[in-house]
Chain A
Amino acid sequence: MAANLPTQAQVQGGAGVTEPGISHDEHAHHDEHHEQSFLQKYVFSTDHKVIAKQFLITGIIWAIIGGTLSSLFRLQLGWPESTFEWLSPFLGKWIEAGKLNPEFYLALVTMHGTIMVFFVLTAGLSGTFSNFLIPLQIGARDMASGFMNMLSYWFFFASSVVMFVSLFLETGPASAGWTIYPPLSALPQAIPGSGAGQTFWLVSMALFIVSQLLGGVNYITTVINLRTQGMSMSKLPLTIWAFFLTAILGLLSFPVLFSAALLLIFDRSFGTSFFLSDIYIAGQALPNTGGSPILFQHLFWFLGHPEVYIVIMPAMGMVSEILATNARKPIFGYRAMIGSLLGISLLSFIVWAHHMFVTGMNPFLGSVFMFLTLIIAVPSAVKTFNWLATLWRGNIRFTSAMLFSIGFVSLFIAGGLTGIVLGNAALDIQMHNTYFVVAHFHLVMGSSAFFGLFAGVYHWFPKMFGRMLDEKLGYVHFWLTFLGVYLVFLPMHYVGIAGFPRRYYAWTGFDSFSQFADLNKFISAAAIIAFFAQFVFIFNFFYSIFRGRRATENPWNSTTLEWTTPVVPGHGNWPGAIPAVHRWPYDYSKPGAAEDFIPQHIPYSQTQSSNLPYEKEME
């Protein structure tokens, strides 16, 4: 460790902890470093920027895996009568006489959900951008604890390895749905995936939760303690507010999932009966009595609902930032945007049982949760109106990031609105667990969050790699994806309204659902095309890392602090002193200013022509 200078650098940078506000740092320490070994620099790095890239690239790999799984089960849904013999080279024994094994189908949906929600949209999205942007945008040399940050990635990596290995188990990976409701997830007799596959799942998630907690504590501490001089909470970019609140949500809700997982492990392995009761299975009556499967659902959704906001809030933050930058306008209603983030964060803890209206839970509880759920739609609506108002009378540049941000708003509206149907318990009786729910959350969470992720990558790629992504390929990627997402998920509502249940291997046994064969084919085709369109991005990403056009320091003429660093910021981020902050992050197109943006570190004394009356005093 002695030779590990980055750690030392953080100790110096960490002076800010004991003397908050003092960002001035005499040592231009990154110049003094010894050459770092490859391992230190790229593998066991404690630099937040490297860790961010590690999260991003791991996330991309997971997204490809998750997407492939979904293409497989869409094949089955689109062409239930066809043979898939041609897949047996890949799937081996899971293709039986040309047919996909129904249990493997359930494994596919389970792993797809788990991978997308946790590994891509939680770790890949929040892990990447919280890491990358928090120190850069608040003006810190690194995270509060670089070492913990490194651990956070490596726990995620370990968790990834375990989950990945589980895909190849003899009995198959976990197959009880991403929500792993017991008793199905507790009893290997019920489905083979609940044997070793489920054990791997639980171990992997336990590691994952550790990774989240390590990361979360670090983000929160960093935002609270390491802001540069002048960076008050009311001058933080909305990205940081979003990451900050996301970390708090994670810190408070992931431990509950951990305890649910732990109790499930006890039930599975040590004969306890937290979730099991009165079960006769495989010709045998089990001894367990007194447990409640519904208890598990309460615990699961206590995380599960905040989790959907853990996924979406970072995207909301980045989209707010990108919309303002490229509309060349201040974000409309900065304070309302923070307020609604706070509101969503608080409310997201008290709506979980809207996933359980028809589980047999007391109907009075259902009424309470219906009431609370529909309140949460209000801050979501406020955010949407504010984004629209930000575009109004702007001067919009359609960078790829901007296209994805506009797409985000569109998808968030489309998916958020149907939440209002589902939040109404009386209507949820019919809609619960149908494709209507699938359409709802794929638009509002799946697709929007992916769009936020893409927007973030296109926008911050120049700062990450010092090169630009190709804009033209970005446009192609956006339009194909935008079209694809709508073609997949809008028709899914029709199928859902007709009552088509989710997680069905085939609907051919039911007259009620069999009329949508054509539509299902259409959806599958669109999904597979949209999946292949992602390779445009993947090509662009890896090509541009090495061969992209060289970036400038501030290619988007943006106001926030990360753009004051060198093209490729080194260790410690700023070669000299960290700039102090004087103004909010959204001084775009201010009347009287020379340029259409004034960065946060420019003092009012330099912008006398554009200062507003109350800013005059600060000159």
Chain B
Amino acid sequence: MTTLGILLVLVLLLVVFGLLFRLQILTSIFSGSSTREVGVSNRVNAILFIIFLVVGGAAFAWSFADNYDKMNPPIASVHGHATERMFWTTMIILGIVFTLTQVLLFVYSYKYQHKEGRRAFFFPHNNKIEVIWTLIPAIVMAGLVFAGWKEWTRITGPAPKDAVVVEVMGKQFNWLVRYPGRDQKLGVVNYRLIDATNEFGFDLSDQNGIDDFVAPEIHVPKGHPVLLKIRSRDVLHAVYMPHFRVQMYAVPGMPTKFWFTPTMTTDEMRAQTGNPKFTYELACNQICGRGHFAMKLNIVVDEPDDYVAWFAQQKSFSEQNPDVLASFKQKSDKLVEKETTPAAAAVVPATAKASL
């Protein structure tokens, strides 16, 4: 198909080239002089504009229709349906303006091509027309802004209190995922604590972090608001989840967030698309270095029950990495020794033990 397209283009180009070359010979024969005013080529160019409009317009319409299904990633979030509607409404308005203006441009070019003995119409301005065509775009634009603004405030408004919290952290060149565990509170992380095992930089002297767990992919329940907390530990990345119409930068030193509600489980989507291997994908969408193009994370949308079951199976980071936990204990013990504050000594190890 592509080779055909390429061939077609080549042939077209050749034809255009040949035509023009022939024309050059013709005109120079007919006109005799090269300094004459306006020759046959004027007419040819005018006709080419019309051909371009008709053939180009048809090709555009055809290729658009041909690609339409491919270009719409299936939608899997509540706000995604709203923005998708707005996107195509906007595109229809723009399409109308595009068609009208391009048709006028090329038709005028053809219709008002040079004719011997005719004079152009001296028409320097007309205030009424100008006011009208300033106001119309202004009104249309106002409508679009208003609709966009309403949707934008809804999307970026505060997440519902009961939202499932997931944290993703970008690094060169993959994503790390962290869940808050049963207490629903994410523990403190500190980039200075990062090493090969403690990739998140868990500060396990913070009790909230003891039951946090990490996961190799994102799981979220269908029909439940999800609050993504986003951070980066080296350069900029961006969390881009095209099926959910979600995008937000991952910025070192500045946690960001985005919340959304998934509407279709992975299985439902597999059934709907007829693709048994369909997977929701998270792509990095901010240039971040060599592996930028391959910085992928899979997302699984579960039925709420499955999600709860999955969640219950996860082992906390501290449980899986007792040495890391122990190192924090040592540190805090040392601290306690140094400070010789009996009270603190009593509190920290006691609670740590409790969660083990």
Contact = CB atoms under 8 A, between A and B. Distances in A.
Interface of A: 102-103, 106, 176-177, 181, 183-184, 187, 190-191, 276-281, 285, 289-294, 327-336, 358-360, 363, 366-367, 370-371, 374-375, 377-378, 381-382, 384-386, 388-389, 391-398, 403, 406, 409-410, 413-414, 417-418, 420-421, 424-427, 429-430, 432-434, 471-472, 475-476, 479-480, 482-483, 486-487, 490-491, 494-495, 497-499, 501, 503-507, 509-513, 515-516, 518-519, 521-522, 525-526, 529, 549, 586, 588-591, 596
Contact of A420 (B24, B45, B138, B141): B141
B328 interface: no
B120 A498 contact: no
Contacts, number: 372
B11 interface: no
A512 B153 contact: no
Given A176-B287, A334-B125, A433-B285, A395 B112 contact: yes
B158 to A, nearest CB: 10
Most buried by B among A384, A396, A417: A396
Contact of A418 (B94, B137, B253): B94
A518 B66 CA distance: 13
B41 A184 contact: no
Interface of B: 1-2, 5-6, 9-10, 12-13, 16-17, 20-21, 23-24, 34-35, 38, 41-42, 45-46, 48-49, 52, 56, 60, 63-64, 67, 70-73, 82-83, 86-87, 90-91, 94, 97-98, 101-102, 104-106, 108-109, 112-115, 118-126, 129-130, 133-134, 137-138, 141, 144-145, 148-149, 151-153, 155-157, 171-172, 191-192, 194, 201, 230, 233-236, 238, 240, 242-243, 245-249, 251-254, 256, 277-279, 281, 283-294, 296
Given A281-B233, A333-B125, 10 more contacts: A103-B289, A177-B287, A327-B112, A360-B254, A392-B112, A393-B123, A395-B115, A429-B245, A472-B41, A512-B283
A396 B12 CA distance: 26
A149 B167 CA distance: 55
Contacts of B292: 102, 106, 503-505
Contacts of B113: 396, 398
Contacts of B191: 278-280, 285
A102 B291 contact: yes
B233 A280 contact: yes
A594 B249 CA distance: 65
Contact of B233 (A278, A425, A491, A506): A278
Given A277-B253, A358-B238, A391 B112 contact: yes
B120 A393 contact: yes
A293 B233 CA distance: 12
B130 A521 contact: no
A381 B125 contact: no
Contacts of B90: 420-421, 424, 427
Contacts of A417: 94, 97-98
B130 A509 contact: no
Contact of B120 (A327, A482, A491, A521): A327
A396 B46 CA distance: 9
A503 B287 contact: yes
A525 B285 CA distance: 25
A471 B172 CA distance: 53
Given A374-B145, A426-B83, A522-B2, A476 B20 contact: yes
A190 B289 contact: yes
30 contacts: A176-B287, A181-B236, A335-B125, A363-B152, A366-B156, A367-B153, A382-B130, A389-B123, A392-B108, A397-B42, A398-B41, A406-B49, A414-B102, A418-B94, A426-B151, A427-B86, A427-B87, A433-B238, A433-B247, A475-B41, A479-B20, A486-B56, A498-B71, A503-B293, A510-B283, A511-B278, A518-B2, A525-B9, A589-B122, A591-B122
